Amino acid sequence: MRIFIVLLSLFILISPLYAQDDESDDWLFFFEELFIFEETFSFDPNPEDVDEETPPDEEIFLSEETPPSEEIPPGEEILPAEEPFEEPQPSLTDEDSPLEPQPNLTTDEGSSLAEDTFMDDDAFFFEAPPLIFEVPTFETRSFDAIFPDFSQIQRMTAMSDQGLRHYFLKDEPATLIPNPDLEIDLLGSVMKKKPSHLIEALAVVPYNEKEFDLLDIYNALGRIENIKDHPAYMNGNELYIFTESTRIEGARNRRAIPDPAPTVTLPFSQTMYLRLKEINFGNLFIRADVSISMYGITYSMTNFTDVRYYLVPVMKAERFTTIIYLEPVKEGILIYSITGFYLPGFIADKVNLTPNINRRIAIFISWITDGLSQQVSTAAE
């Protein structure tokens, strides 16, 4: 076979010498001699030596089952023998026939897919059903579902303007415990900071003109500049404890920045930095972490610098934490918070910070409530 290929190459090289009309007889004679020479050296190889001496590319050519005229080019697959046509199943109608042409299916160039696509007898088209994504819905929970063990007096107090407050030390039990199955464990998160004093608070802000959702709550929490506008009350008198309240760029760059405009989408989580200037402790630098769950929003505030009382350091960084959980319930907006802070014994004996912090918690609740009412005014406009 190799000899034949070499001779064929020589023929191509010398063929111009035989291209003249007057030499056509010589050209025919050369071609006849070439085929006689090829038949003389053609022979059938020993079947036992085919695997050893025959290159892989020549196996198909020498096979008796595949004649040379049907040699398969490299890279192409051998198509199976064509199966006889089967009649459509009785369950298929004329409209659902798998072999029905699809006139509306065209390629980008405008040609029909039926013209450009090879189909055998068993091929068929099918139309996949549309994918439908549904947003999971859930029923708004009630106050009793979150705090099932409350007495009637506790329930009424939580829904009043006063709300529920409870002050206790680290070794004493909390009294405002939500349903453990709901996994609203603010106390466990606060106790990780190892506080010495704790305050828990609970209030329900009733709906007024509309029912609030998580987006309303998130936008209300974003009005940091409004914290300074809410007073505390002492002996029946108003006392503005925070004289300034603003966002800052970060823990190191403490340049004041304005509050962003209300948003129309909820983030999964967010961290912001605040500076609250108050009459006793001066500048308080707070890191606020917001996280969104299916039912509510958790707002955690922690001091990332020391707290000073008239220039005297009274609380180290990361030792004051307030976690506020807010959820729209059937009765209104549930505001549940736990505050923990650590004071050394010699300072706690001389300075009673519990009433001061309690008043500040009241300011935060008032700030959130007022922010929700502003959401109603914005929606009305």
Last residue of a domain, one of 50, 70, 90: 70
139 within domain boundaries: no
196 within domain boundaries: yes
In sequence order, the 6+-apart residues with CB closer than 8 A to the CB of 133 are: none
Q: What is the pLDDT of residue 255?
A: 96
Is 205:158 a contact under the CB 8 Å cutoff?
Answer: no
104 within domain boundaries: no
Rounded CA-CA distance 243/279 in Å is 7
Nearest residue to 313 (alpha-carbon basis) of 293, 276, 340, 342: 342
Same domain, 167 and 60: no
Same domain, 178 and 267: yes
222 within domain boundaries: yes
Same domain, 12 and 158: no
Same domain, 167 and 256: yes
Is 245:226 a contact under the CB 8 Å cutoff?
Answer: yes
User: Is this prediction's pTM over 0.85?
Assistant: no
354 within domain boundaries: yes
Is 262:247 a contact under the CB 8 Å cutoff?
Answer: no
User: Residue 340 burial by CB count (10 A; 0-12/13-18/19+): exposed, middle or buried?
Assistant: buried
Same domain, 247 and 349: yes
Is 97:123 a contact under the CB 8 Å cutoff?
Answer: no
CATH number of the domain at 362, please. 3.30.530.20
The three-point CA angle 173-176-179 to 5° equals: 110
119 within domain boundaries: no
Q: What is the pLDDT of residue 352?
A: 76
Q: Which domain holds residue 334?
A: 151-380
117 within domain boundaries: no
Q: What is the pLDDT of residue 8?
A: 64
Same domain, 20 and 156: no
In sequence order, the 6+-apart residues with CB closer than 8 A to the CB of 108 are: none
Q: What is the pLDDT of residue 11?
A: 58
Same domain, 60 and 183: no
Task: Read off the pLDDT of residues 293-328 as tens digits, 9 standing for 90 and up.
Answer: 999 999 999 999 998 877 788 889 999 999 999 999
Same domain, 199 and 331: yes
Is 333:324 a contact under the CB 8 Å cutoff?
Answer: no
Same domain, 64 and 168: no
How many structural domains compose the chain? 2
Nearest residue to 42 (alpha-carbon basis) of 58, 26, 28, 22: 58
Same domain, 43 and 169: no
Q: What is the pLDDT of residue 373?
A: 83
Rounded CA-CA distance 130/314 in Å is 63
End-to-end CA gap in the chain: 93
Residue ranges for the chain with pLDDT beneath 70: 1-138, 375-381
Same domain, 233 and 372: yes
Q: What is the pLDDT of residue 110?
A: 43
Residue 197 is encoded by which pair of tokens? 């004093």
Q: What is the pLDDT of residue 343?
A: 84
Q: Could you give the 3-state DSSP secondary structure of residue 219? A: helix
Last residue of a domain, one of 70, 90, 113: 70
Q: What is the pLDDT of residue 366?
A: 92
Q: What is the pLDDT of residue 234?
A: 85
Last residue of a domain, one of 39, 54, 70: 70
Q: What is the pLDDT of residue 1?
A: 59
